[in-house]
Amino acid sequence: MKQKFFKIDSKIQAAADEAMKQIQPHFAEIDEITEYNQLKMLSAFIENGVSESMFAESTGYGYGDRGRETIDKVAASVFKTEDALLRHNFTCGTHTLAVALYGMLRPGDLMLCVTGTPYDTIHSVIGIDGKGDGSLADFGVKYEQVELKDGKPDLDAIEKAVKEKSPKLVYIQRSRGYSLRPSLSCEEIGEIVKVVKANSDADVMVDNCYGEFTQTIEPSEVGADVIAGSLIKNAGGGIARTGGYIAGRADLIEKISYRMTTPGLGREVGATLGMSRELFMGFFNAPHVVGEALKTAVFTAALFERFGFGTTPTSEDKRYDIVQSVMLENEENLISFCQGMQKGAPVDSFVVPEPWDMPGYDSQVIMAAGAFTGGASIELSADAPLREPYAAWMQGGLNFHSAKMGVMLAAQEMGLGG
Ligand SMILES: *Cc1c(COP(=O)(O)O)cnc(C)c1O
């Protein structure tokens, strides 16, 4: 049925129709992964006896909160780990990853990142930029990294580094984040883990942000000792308004729980304040919403390829995260892309995004976001630094039908309809 709500140039509509035909096989694959993960989730809810009474709020210390205790168990079941912590108290992905790192590392330990330079916000946590504000470096935790080789983990260099330096913790970032390297599959992460475990006693931690539920397995199923991510990305299903999760080996999760609150108290405290229902509901919906975001990403790639733009990943590539970058060639295109996408947002559609000097960036950045949850990048959103290669990174889409229109409006605003 032809939609009658948005005026789309016929050239863009035709390209979108062609793109849809091209990507049907990928949609079928995404549906299979989604169904598998959704049933994994449903069975975890059933197995752990999730009940309505668990949505009740606790206040104060939050002792004995059954909702809090049970959602940890559900997360452990889904991620196939011995234990997990899934909380609204984690303020964002960076905080969640930091709690895991501080929980596991001690003065004198070496953290070795084997996937090149980690995500920007982690630099301050590690102390790469050398500020004395309580970073891991301030506490005497050492840091080194193994660079990627042609955008891929360099297994030989990893083996050598692990043998020579005996790290306490090996750190892997699954998603491309805002770089142009490919994201890692769980199979590739498994290869790294094998090399690390064969040559050291190091624990392996994976930054799983943007990666959850894009495959039928998670990094924890290929040997990662701890995985962590944000609930305003994949794992919160677009419903959780804040939070994060950490899943992994029981002894490590216990240590991490002492950093999450305090030594002695660990996981036994933490009022849920009525948040449990949306955490359960969001986590439950996550596999489905990730499927919608993946479809949006594949469609975006296919549509912009038709207009001659470079994409990473391409519409035909396998995907291990929800991030899509489109090389838009110049500043004007970047700005129009973001402004057009904003026009198709359910919230703040009337806002016109402008480039601004974002702290920590060496060029201006423009962003499109019209989300129900502030900064939630599981909702359709785009960021673009105004510099070579003029790439827009977009991700999310709570439901494909709506996100598809956002992407078409981005193309239209760029004048691709002629
Ligand atoms: C988003 C992200 C983070 C940090 O999460 P925030 O919620 O923005 O703090 C870390 N690593 C990767 C790969 C991410 O995508």
Which tokens sit at 50?
Answer: 């999730």
Question: At a CB cut-off of 8 Å and minimum separation 6, what does 374 contact?
Answer: none
Residue 381 CB–ligand 1 contact under 6 Å: no
Ligand 1 atom with minimal separation from the 121 CA: 4
| Concatenated DSSP letters of 298-324 | HHHHHHHHHTT-EEES-TTS--SSS-E
Residue nearest to atom 8 of ligand 1 (CA): 93
Instruction: Report CA-CA distances (Å) from 69 to 48, 84, 167, 382.
Output: 10, 10, 33, 35
The finding on whether 92 has its CB within 6 A of some atom of ligand 1 is yes
Q: Is the CB of 244 under 6 A from ligand 1?
A: no
Q: Ligand 1: distance of its center to the CA of 167 in Å?
A: 23
Q: State whether the beta carbon of 173 lies less than 6 angstroms from ligand 1.
A: yes
Q: Measured from the CB, is residue 177 less than 6 Å from ligand 1?
A: yes
- Look up tokens 């359960």; give the residue: 280
Chain centroid to Cα 65, Å, comes to 28
In angstroms, the first-to-last Cα distance of the chain is 25
Ligand 1 centroid–CA 84 distance in Å is: 19
Hey, CA dihedral for 396, 398, 400, 402, is it positive or negative? negative
Two structure tokens written together for 170: 């090996």
Ligand 1 test: best mutation among 89, 181, 184, 207, most atoms within 8 Å of CB?
207
pLDDT at 360: 66
Closest CA to 41 of 320, 292, 236, 253: 236
- Mode of pairing for the β-strands spanning 244-248 and 226-230: antiparallel
Residue 229 Cα to ligand 1 midpoint, Å, equals 8
Predicted confidence (pLDDT) per residue in 199-247, tens digit: 999 999 999 999 999 999 999 999 999 999 999 999 999 999 999 999 9
Ligand 1 contact, 93 CB (< 6 A):
yes
Q: How far is the CA of 410 from the centre of ligand 1 (A)?
A: 25
- State the DSSP H helix or E strand holding residue 247, giving kind and residue range, or none if neither: strand 244-248
Q: Which mean pLDDT values do the consecutive 10-residue runs of the chain (418 residues) have?
A: 93 98 98 98 98 98 97 98 98 97 98 96 89 90 97 97 98 91 97 98 98 98 98 98 98 98 97 98 98 98 98 97 97 97 97 89 90 96 93 97 98 95
Beta strands (DSSP E) in 281-407 are: 310-312, 324-327, 365-369, 381-385, 391-395
d(Cα 329, Cα 342) in Å, to the nearest integer? 20
Indicate whether residue 210 lines ligand 1 (CB < 6 A).
Answer: yes
Q: How would you classify the pairing of strands 226-230 and 203-207?
A: parallel
**If you measure from the C-alpha of residue 350 to the centroid of ligand 1, how many angstroms do you get, rounded to a whole number?**
27
List, for residues 241-250, the tens digit of each pLDDT value: 999 999 999 9
pTM higher than 0.85: yes
User: Residue 368 corresponds to which tokens in the numbers above?
Assistant: 């499109």
Q: Which residues make Cβ contacts (< 8 Å) with residue 271, sequence separation at least 6?
A: 57, 58, 59, 60, 61, 62, 65
